Structure 1
Amino acid sequence: MAELLAVQGDITEQDVDAVVNAANSSLMGGGGVDGAIHRKGGPDILAECRALRASQYGKGLKTGQAVATTGGLLPARWVIHTVGPVWSATEDRSDLLASCYRESLRVADELGAQTVAFPAVSTGVYGWPIQDGARIAVETVRTTPTKVHQIRFTLFTPEALTAFLSALA
């Protein structure tokens, strides 16, 4: 069973095998976590994302899916890109959010990653309420079989850290 941790910090500075990127479907960078990873990781990440778009992901990465690239200049060896759902008050998209975590762990296992840092997927500009996002993230990684030894939820705000610590308790 993987060790689960919640820490406040910058995901681009985590010394882990893989960091998970809350990407948009284009894989071409954006704001928030996605923009930070692309900026700090350098051009190799974008080059591999472009190659993925030119091959099997011509229409972009679907919500809930995950794919890996190099970590570029990041301390992490790999970036696992996953596309979270936009929160909706009228449609339950919880399964799509859970899929982001499951699929990221599946990719991590394929890579042989022992340590993985996750952001709070979909809780930024995609509007997912942080308490619910934390609950789904923790429940999903707890129930997903994986060879990963340590899963580190790396959270940017004190509010997000509090929500994840509560979900872990």
Structure 2
Amino acid sequence: MNHIQIGQTHIQLLQGDITVQQVDAIVNAANSSLLGGGGVDGAIHRAGGSAILEECQQIRNRQGGCATGDAVITTAGRLPAKHVIHTVGPVWNGGSNNERQLLADCYVHSLQLADEHQLISIAFPNISTGIYDFPKKEAAIIALQTVKEYIEQHPDTLLQQIIFVCYDADNLTLYEQQIQAMNV
């Protein structure tokens, strides 16, 4: 199973490249500097072009970057999306440094920005599961549970489509298992 419906919001899973998603916003698993980096962050900056970096630099000049768990929004530059929501996931340090709550905060703050900008569709990557080493199964559970709770607590959200774009088959399988468990 690769989708569920919660209220008016359709949650979908797919394996692929987040930079080609035609949605109102894609979420970037950014670092606190907002200056691009490796993984999905680097791919989004490369595909979107200099306009994204320029807006990130303006945000840095205004507020000094982005704290772990927070999120900011920029243009999407050359990407098919309209916006990029940059969120800074936690680095996994064994689970005793509030990593779970910080990861949940990434999803909540991204969804809040989507609602503030009246967006109807958003695509998330697997935040913190690359070089930040968050356990993939636990990250999938937190991602799906947090999004489900947000939608249930915000029945007035305009979000009609939320896509989890899994980079690899392993993450897709973990998300599919969690969606099935939620649908029982």
Q: What TM bracket, shorter-length normalisation?
A: over 0.9
Q: Deviations over 1:47-106 (max 9, x none)?
A: 000001111x22x20000001000000000000000000112151421100000000000
Equivalent residue letter for 2:45: H
Q: Residues 108-123 of structure 1: matches in 2 within 5 Å? A: 108-123=114-129
Structure 2 unpaired stretches of 5+:
1-6
From 98, 101, 110, give the equivalent of 2:104. 98
2:87 paired with 1:82: yes
2:4 aligns with none
The Cα of 1:112 is off from its aligned counterpart by 1.2
1:12 aligns with 19
Q: Distance in 2 between matches of 1:30 and 1:90?
A: 24
1:63 aligns with 68
1:168 aligns with 179
Q: What TM-score, normalized by structure 2, do the two folds share?
A: 0.89
Structure 1 unpaired stretches of 5+:
none
2:142 aligns with 136
Equivalent residue letter for 1:161: L
| Range with bigger deviation, 143-152 or 61-70 | 143-152
Count of matched residue pairs: 167
The Cα of 1:168 is off from its aligned counterpart by 1.1
RMSD (Å) for aligned C-alpha atoms: 0.9
Q: Distance in 2 between matches of 1:154 and 1:90?
A: 24
Q: Segments of 4+ in structure 1 off by > 6 A? A: none
